[in-house]
Amino acid sequence: MSGLRLDGKVAVVTGSGRGLGRAYAVALAGAGAAVVVNDVDVTAASETVELIASAGGRAAAEIAAVGDTAAAEALASRAVDEFGRLDVMVTNAGVLRDRVLWKMTDEDFDLVIATHLRGTFTCARAAATRMREQGDGGRIIVVGSPAGQFGNFGQTNYAAAKAGVIAFAQTWAMELARSEITVNAIVPTAWTQMTATIPIYAPLAEAVEAGRGFPRSVRRDHAIGLPEDCAPVVVFLASEAAAGVTGQAIGIGGDKLTLYSHPAEAAVLYSDDGWSAEEVAAAWAESLAAKMQPVGMKLAPLELGTGG
């Protein structure tokens, strides 16, 4: 499909030394884009560049920890200096510092917010500025998480940052529409170093190490596959085929593709001249309690008996 080719386009993928970021970078290069590979790990970034180059693609590494303005500007400038322009920004870089609320330190909170939320902001701002100067549109793809959609135990910092990333996409989609720059969030799920730490998935580790495929039930009910399973949606959103898609949150993982709904009012009641506390309590008991919204990610039981 010609509308999915990215020949002549230039992309930046933050945190692309390994895992999901590497899968995005390799897939974008495979579709024809030149890619700036970003990571804090020189060896990992170099390996991704070599993977792309060995397949006939073009890539360059830019070593930086995303978060501050200087790193974001360096990434945008590297794309222009190395390949002549910037068309696609994928803000994938992230870190985890999981602890329950009463044990989370300021440092735990600040590092995750700086990397995920501020890093997405600074990189998107640098990209939007460059794309508007070029005058021919562009693609910004930010990265959310199920934790940001539903909340997740022990992830105050991460869930808040990822929820904010979705709000970024919705806001920037409006602000950048006249410049023909689309902004979308992806919500990927895949087997990564992070996923491997989730207790329910411990039985999958042996299958991964042995190179066996994931059971169909895991790929469907848990949306867990390899990072490469998530990359096609990035190629799609970077392409002309997605020119009319903006402000969306799109989940992908394993065999599952999801379009998330935007937050909406679950129930609405009115009271002339406002509400007293007693009236709120009565309305809650009579009507609203039955429509309370669930919190937390709900995982299906892990079934390993079905072949992949």
> Choosing from 9, 24, 158, 239, which is the catalytic residue?
158
> Choosing from 16, 162, 217, 239, which is the catalytic residue?
162
Active site residue 145: yes
3-state SS assignment for residue 251: strand
Active site residue 260: no
Active site residue 16: no
Spatial separation of the C-alpha atoms in residues 25 and 250, rounded to whole Å: 18
Tokens 């599952």 sit at which residue? 256
Tokens (6 digits) for 218: 């895991």
Spatial separation of the C-alpha atoms in residues 4 and 31, rounded to whole Å: 7
- Three-state SS sequence of 61-109: EEECCECEHHHHHHHHHHHHHHHCCCCEEEECCCCCCCECHHHCCHHHH
> Choosing from 16, 145, 217, 239, which is the catalytic residue?
145
Neighbour-count burial of 169, counting CB atoms closer than 10 A to its CB (0-12 exposed, 13-18 middle, 19+ buried) = buried
By annotation, the residues acting in catalysis are 145, 158, 162
